[in-house]
A and B are shown apart, each in its own frame.
Chain A
Amino acid sequence: MLDRVLNAYTEAIYDTDRDRAFQVVHDALAEGVSPEDIVFEIVSPSLEMMVKAISESDTANLAQHFLASQIGADITEEMMARFRQAPRMAGSVVIGTSQGDFHGLGKRIVAGCLKAAVIEVIDLGTNVPPERFVDEAVSRDAQVIAVSSMMVHTARSESGCLGVRRILRERRLEDRIKVVVGGAPYRFDPELYRIVQADAWAANGIAAGEIIARLIEEVQS
């Protein structure tokens, strides 16, 4: 039963059919599937299936990422409101675009994928100075800071990820908070994340979810 729902849901996302994806979930609920199972047996595994498909065939496109993240986040939110016990979040992430960068779509896709993985997301918006990333991460007890940039100069700037790293070092927070980066320049240069002194990067929102979940575990252990 759950397998059938999982396949139908994943197919709808692949076909970029938002209405059908919601229909599949609501039909499953009506047939007695629990909200917990929808999140942990359908939405999360579906994202994992997509990670696998993408890394094997490299064919998923922006429209699919966008919908997978949006629908995944919306359904997870809807289901969590119906959980029998308040859900335990896997961890929290502070996310934003680097200072001088106003391109919010990449960040939004990543945030959606994180929400679908039951990770708490604190979205600081676009054009975020490095101090603010760190201050928010400390006050909200986040394990990861995620910095998105669409342009080369905002990715490499002293007030981007490099600035976040400098402040974390000065305030001796590097064991407690990990930094992850992404956006177009990193896709053109897979080594760039080292140059900006990040702990990791990801090429798309779905892979970002996996990597960030790993970093959260690292910090928590």
Chain B
Amino acid sequence: MTTAVQRLADTAAGKMADRIPVFCNLLDQGARELGLPLNEYYSRGEYVAEGQLRLQKKYGYDNVWCLFYVGKEAELFGCRKIIFAEDGPPNVGEMILETYDDVYRLQVPEDVTSHPAFEETRKCLDILKREVGGKRPICAYVTASMTLPAILMGMENWLALLLSGPLDVRDELLEKCSEFFRKQVAALRNAGADIILYSNPFGSVDFLPMRMFEMLSLPWMERDLKPVGADGVVYYCGGARLIPVIDRVIERTGIGAYYLSPLESVAAGKRAIEGRALCAGVINDIRMIDWSPQEVREEVKRILAEGMPGGRFMFGTVVMPWSIPDANIRAMLEAAFEFGRLQ
């Protein structure tokens, strides 16, 4: 039987697999599987690994995650306050950069792996590697240098700095975030992560004009990725649209996989990629809360019909909200397995 790792590798290489790869991004739902409140669940790597393994077994999709929540990156940089909810993802509760002087004081951890926040991720990865390593793609999430400042100083302050702030402060911060990015990628790969979801909403023209994308986003993406390589890297703009930049990103970074926005046309995404990389067609999972299982099925069918011709295609979700009914998760996956069959 084909393993999920083999399936993904074959698909990415443009070879025929048994079916298309199917990624389903369930994070907070692991706490529900273990019957734990979210803050407790996320306090230990063992819990998150167990949650991921149980969810994967229950639903049968291809991937597992070592991501707890995005705010963990701020914790690695010194943030001490995370706000937990009962039925939704944790959020950063304090901005570690309040003034421009703080940017100069900010210290990139010498060794990210020795930080207690990384220690839990490492424990999680140890277990995932032991249980499914080499068989299932183990996914990690790392925020691009152009986007990370959003959770270090807040979206408003980062936009203001980008658009009209002092250039030396901007560049100092980007340099530190890029160094941090590279260290994280190295540490995560070392600990067993295969896939790096490279998250960069500020690398989307929904966020910045093309001129700024060319002047800033692209060069900083190169700086993030050149030293660590684009192996297993997936380009993702947090659900923002990325088709208009695909061509430039392929040219300049060599990233081999593109995770579309659910609001983009899958056919247009495939056209932009022109067979040069793997394309992920992504379901609008926010609507899955209210759709009927039949509507979910129809939607998966539509996405696959648009994306499968020509190959190098996979199916995925964004960050599945907590309140999506179980029946809809099952309907989505059944349809993806059924309509995604190739042999």
Cβ A102 vs Cβ B209 within 8 A: no
Cβ A188 vs Cβ B284 within 8 A: yes
Give A61 Cβ to nearest chain B Cβ, in Å: 6
Whole-angstrom CA separation of A104 from B323 in the bound complex:
24
A-B pair count, CB < 8 Å, reads 81
- Selected contact of B209 from candidates A61, A156, A191, CB within 8 Å: A61
- Interfacial chain A residues near B91, Cβ < 8 Å: 102-103, 151
Whole-angstrom CA separation of A152 from B289 in the bound complex:
10
Whole-angstrom CA separation of A62 from B150 in the bound complex:
14
Q: Which residue of A lies closest to B164 (CB)?
A: A18
Cβ B163 vs Cβ A61 within 8 A: no
Give A192 Cβ to nearest chain B Cβ, in Å: 8
How would residues 42 to 79 of chain A score, 1 for a CB under 8 Å from any chain B CB and 0 otherwise? 00000000000000000101111011000000000000
A19-B164, A66-B159, A189-B286 provided; 14 other pairs, C-beta below 8 A? A15-B209, A59-B205, A62-B206, A100-B83, A102-B91, A108-B156, A152-B88, A152-B289, A152-B321, A153-B88, A156-B323, A185-B286, A188-B262, A188-B263
Is A34 in contact with chain B by the CB < 8 A criterion? no
Q: Which residue of B lies closest to A64 (CB)?
A: B209
Q: Is the contact region of chain B dominated by helix, strand, or loop, or is it mixed?
A: loop
Q: Write 28 A-B pairs (CB below 8 A) sorted by A numbering.
A: A16-B163, A16-B209, A18-B163, A18-B164, A61-B205, A61-B209, A62-B206, A62-B208, A63-B163, A63-B208, A66-B159, A66-B163, A100-B83, A100-B85, A102-B93, A104-B156, A105-B154, A105-B156, A108-B156, A151-B91, A152-B88, A152-B321, A153-B88, A154-B85, A157-B87, A188-B239, A188-B286, A189-B287
Is A86 in contact with chain B by the CB < 8 A criterion? no
Interface residues of B (CB under 8 A from A): 83, 85, 87-89, 91, 93, 154-156, 159, 162-164, 205-209, 212, 239, 262-263, 284, 286-287, 289-290, 321-323
Whole-angstrom CA separation of A76 from B263 in the bound complex:
35
Number of A positions contacting B (CB below 8 A)? 31
Give A58 Cβ to nearest chain B Cβ, in Å: 10
- Interfacial chain A residues near B89, Cβ < 8 Å: 151
How would residues 156 to 175 of chain A score, 1 for a CB under 8 Å from any chain B CB and 0 otherwise? 11000000000000000000
Q: For A104, A153, A185, which residue has the most chain B Cβ atoms within 10 angstroms?
A: A153
- Interfacial chain B residues near A63, Cβ < 8 Å: 159, 162-163, 207-209, 212
- Interfacial chain B residues near A156, Cβ < 8 Å: 289, 323
- Interfacial chain B residues near A89, Cβ < 8 Å: none
Q: Which residue of B lies closest to A151 (CB)?
A: B88
Cβ B155 vs Cβ A103 within 8 A: yes
Give A53 Cβ to nearest chain B Cβ, in Å: 13
Q: Which residue of A lies closest to B288 (CB)?
A: A189
